[in-house]
Amino acid sequence: MGKRFYLTTAIDYTNGSPHVGHAYEKIVADVIARAHRSLGDEVFFLTGLDEHGLKVQQAAAEAGLDPQKYCDGLAVQWKELATRLGLSIDDFIRTTEPRHKAVVAAILNRLHGAGEIYKAAYTGWYSVREETFLTEKDRNPDGTWDARWGQVVPLEEENWYFRMARHQEWLVDYLERNPSFVQPQSRRNEVLGFLRSEKLEDLCISRPASRLAWGIPLPFAPEWVTYVWFDALTNYLTVPASMGDPAATAVLGPDYQAPAPVAGTSLWPADLHVVGKDIVKFHAVYWPIMLHAAGAPLPGQVLVHGWWQKDGHKLSKTTGNVVDPIAVIDEWGLDALRYYLVRELAIGPDGNWTDEGFRSRYNAELANGLGNLLNRALNMLNKYRDGIVPAVSDELAADARTAVADTERLLRAHDLQGALAAIWTLVNRANLYVEQTQPFRLAKDPAQAGRLDVVLYNLVESCRILSVLLAPFLPSTSARIHAQLRLDEKPDRLARAAWGGLRAGHKVGAPEPLFPRKDLAPKNPR
Ligand code: MSP
């Protein structure tokens, strides 16, 4: 096995419960993971939790729990979310695991040994809430500190610094030569704009353990713990290294006790990091510089998504403006959630969740669009031909071919919204075909039997192709379509979307609704 397509999500802080924004990122990454598998790639998909740092320490203290116990409790909830979202993950990392602590220690030692880390005294201002040092540039014009910094206190302490500033020019050059490293383009411009206009400072990568105990000790100075972002970013390297991937262990140097490689472990460098717009700087500036300084090959791409709001306002537990992904799944089903999130919002801009918008897409596109098509196709085939597939014919073949080619191209470009739109051109085309050909009329006229065969074939074959195209997006719906078509092979290979796959004589099953219509069903039937 060659190098696998290795993709990751951001790892979530264990300081609260998941909301739909977290679910969105994981679903986007899952669709990409499944799309690559469908295109024939070997894939490794990683997600997990970011458990150290002040935010988590404070949340644990508020809950009156020891931080580890607190994280262990939340980890159960977050892993449950990964299961309920149907994530096809290959591993789930928690930054409190020994395998991660070993890799953080190793990369710190490596950079320290290479002269990239030094100790210096710091006197200045510190935001307790944001866990970050502030400079005079961060003050409001009137000299006060913005409310977002929370409590700002004067601080004098010794810390350890990573020589980030010296790599600025290299990074600008790297970004210029690799236009796809940060996507979409608008985010790339933002990063380049920032790097061209501001001078990078060295990065403080330690916190005195006396002030913040909840972290990974610096291996060469255990009175300090590692800055949470340095710790968290390293998770992407932890998993390949702890599986013995030679390209990952090479980054860590001879001190790292590299395990024997697990068969088929060729992961590093990561191909894709899917992250939200608020953490671009960490992924597109700190992370590539950390890797470059350690002599490591860089990831292929940082793909940046926007943020969800609800009804035009920020998601917030305090105001109750939240969408609980589990509640949506319980009421509408997982695939309805996956569909809405990916179809409504392109990867990049911000999105706005409305319950009405959700309901409307569900009814129009899932129930009346896709669900109705399958229902009609199978119903008529059962009613008029005992469920037996007629001879292959190709009236919709060209439309299907266009949808397949567009979907493939858009999936390769990670334009998931565009791919769903392309798939729905076939859904709509096939539904229109029913209106145009009127098979229920043809069925009444024995002289039209041949024509009816043609129509029925084109409808069921379109449904089969749709199940293949939909596999990355709506895996369980895709499997259900296949089951109703009584097909044995799996729909999860794009190569199976070639026209003519359904053979004459094959017997399909009975239709079962994919998406029960919600507007018609009374909520509390009496
Ligand atoms: N722990 C860091 C990430 C470390 S990655 C090495 C973190 N955690 S987080 O829990 O605050 O956010 C996790 C991801 O969820 C981020 O990519 C963030 O952008 C995303 N989202 C948080 N709220 C969101 C929305 N409202 N909408 C979409 N994504 C959102 O940052």
If you write DSSP's letter for every residue of 202-257 in order, what string do you get? -EE-EEETTT--SSPEETTEEEEEE-HHHHHHTHHHHHHHHTT-HHHHHHH-TTS-
Q: Are residues 359 and 291 in the same domain?
A: no
Q: What is the mean pLDDT of residues 401-428?
A: 98
Q: Are residues 108 and 32 in the same domain?
A: yes
Ligand 1 contact via 25 beta carbon (within 6 Å): yes
Q: Are residues 291 and 380 in the same domain?
A: no
Q: Which atom of ligand 1 is nearest to the CA of 10?
A: 5
Q: Is residue 524 assigned to a domain?
A: no
Q: Are residues 480 and 405 in the same domain?
A: yes
CATH number of the domain to which 87 belongs: 3.40.50.620
Q: Which atom of ligand 1 is nearest to the CA of 233?
A: 6
From 8, 11, 12, the mutation candidate for ligand 1 (largest count of ligand atoms within 8 A of CB) is: 12
Q: Are 387 and 381 in contact (CB under 8 A)?
A: yes
Q: Are 397 and 456 in contact (CB under 8 A)?
A: no
Q: Give the model's confidence band at 526: pLDDT under 50 very low, under 70 low, under 90 confident, else very high.
A: very low
Q: Are residues 301 and 363 in the same domain?
A: no
Look at residue 317 in the predicted model and tell me its pLDDT. Answer: 84
Look at residue 332 in the predicted model and tell me its pLDDT. Answer: 98
Look at residue 32 in the predicted model and tell me its pLDDT. Answer: 99
Backbone angles phi, psi at 154, to 5 degrees: -70, 145
Closest by CA to 468, choosing from 434, 510, 497, 511, is 497
Ligand 1 contact via 274 beta carbon (within 6 Å): no
Ligand 1 centroid – CA 419 distance (Å): 25
Peptide bond just before 219 cis, omega within 30 deg: no
Q: β-strands 12-13, 43-50: how paired? A: parallel
Q: Are residues 115 and 259 in the same domain?
A: yes
- pLDDT digit string, tens, across residues 395-411: 999 999 999 999 999 99
Q: Is residue 266 assigned to a domain?
A: yes
Q: Which atom of ligand 1 is nearest to the CA of 277?
A: 19
Whether residue 428 is predicted with pLDDT greater than 70 in this model: the reply is yes
Q: Is residue 317 assigned to a domain?
A: no
Q: Is residue 506 assigned to a domain?
A: no
Token readout for 420 is 């769903």
Whether residue 463 is predicted with pLDDT greater than 80 in this model: the reply is yes
Q: Please work out, in degrees rounded to the nearest 5, the angle formed at the alpha carbon of residue 7 by the alpha carbons of 74 and 275.
A: 65
Rounded Cα–Cα distance for residues 69 and 209 (Å): 19
Look at residue 356 in the predicted model and tell me its pLDDT. Answer: 97
Domain count, the chain: 2
Q: Give the model's confidence band at 523: pLDDT under 50 very low, under 70 low, under 90 confident, else very high.
A: low
In what order do the strands lie in the sheet containing 308-310? Answer: 313-314, 308-310, 351-353
Look at residue 519 in the predicted model and tell me its pLDDT. Answer: 62
- pLDDT digit string, tens, across residues 260-290: 888 878 999 999 999 999 999 999 999 999 9
Whether residue 522 is predicted with pLDDT greater than 70 in this model: the reply is no
Q: Give the model's confidence band at 149: pLDDT under 50 very low, under 70 low, under 90 confident, else very high.
A: very high
Neighbours of 69 (CB within 10 A): 11
DSSP 8-state secondary structure symbol assigned to residue 96: T
From 50, 303, 313, 317, the mutation candidate for ligand 1 (largest count of ligand atoms within 8 A of CB) is: 50
Q: Are residues 365 and 280 in the same domain?
A: no
Separation of CA 342 from chain center: 10
Side chain identity, residue 222: P
Q: Give the model's confidence band at 254: pLDDT under 50 very low, under 70 low, under 90 confident, else very high.
A: confident
Q: Are residues 229 and 374 in the same domain?
A: no
Q: Are residues 37 and 155 in the same domain?
A: yes
3-state SS, 343-360, equals: HHCCCCCCEEECHHHHHH
CATH number of the domain to which 466 belongs: 1.10.730.10
**Residue of the nearest CA to atom 16 in ligand 1?**
276
- pLDDT digit string, tens, across residues 206-238: 999 998 899 999 999 999 999 999 999 999 999
Whether residue 93 is predicted with pLDDT greater than 80 in this model: the reply is yes
Ligand 1 centroid – CA 485 distance (Å): 40
Look at residue 128 in the predicted model and tell me its pLDDT. Answer: 80
Q: Give the model's confidence band at 525: pLDDT under 50 very low, under 70 low, under 90 confident, else very high.
A: very low
Look at residue 124 in the predicted model and tell me its pLDDT. Answer: 87
Backbone angles phi, psi at 268, to 5 degrees: -75, 140
Closest by CA to 308, choosing from 323, 298, 293, is 323
Q: Are residues 299 and 374 in the same domain?
A: no
Q: Is residue 127 assigned to a domain?
A: yes
- pLDDT digit string, tens, across residues 26-75: 999 999 999 999 999 999 999 999 999 988 999 999 999 999 999 999 99
Whether residue 334 is predicted with pLDDT greater than 90 in this model: the reply is yes
Ligand 1 contact via 350 beta carbon (within 6 Å): no
Q: Give the model's confidence band at 135: pLDDT under 50 very low, under 70 low, under 90 confident, else very high.
A: confident
Percent of the chain predicted with pLDDT > 70: 98
Q: Are 226 and 160 in contact (CB under 8 A)?
A: no
Look at 217-226, 322-331, 427-436, 510-519 and tell me which has the smallest mean pLDDT: 510-519
Q: Is residue 334 assigned to a domain?
A: no
Stronger pLDDT, 1 or 458, i.e. the higher one: 458
Whether residue 468 is predicted with pLDDT greater than 70 in this model: the reply is yes
Rounded Cα–Cα distance for residues 39 and 467 (Å): 15
Percent of the chain predicted with pLDDT > 90: 90
Q: Are residues 114 and 185 in the same domain?
A: yes
Residue 440: C-alpha distances to residues 197, 426, 446 (Å): 67, 21, 12
Q: Is residue 240 assigned to a domain?
A: yes
Ligand 1 contact via 232 beta carbon (within 6 Å): yes
Ligand 1 contact via 233 beta carbon (within 6 Å): yes
Token readout for 93 is 């990392």
Look at residue 393 in the predicted model and tell me its pLDDT. Answer: 98
Give residue 221's domain range. Answer: 5-305
Q: Is residue 158 assigned to a domain?
A: yes
User: Facing residues of 388 across strands?
Assistant: 507
From 55, 278, 317, 347, the mutation candidate for ligand 1 (largest count of ligand atoms within 8 A of CB) is: 278
Kindly give, in sequence order, each residue whose CB lies less than 8 Å from that of residue 162, ignoring residues fewer than 6 positions away. 111, 116, 117, 202, 203, 204, 205, 230, 290, 293
Q: Are residues 296 and 378 in the same domain?
A: no
**Residue of the nearest CA to atom 9 in ligand 1?**
12
- Whole-number average pLDDT of the chain: 95
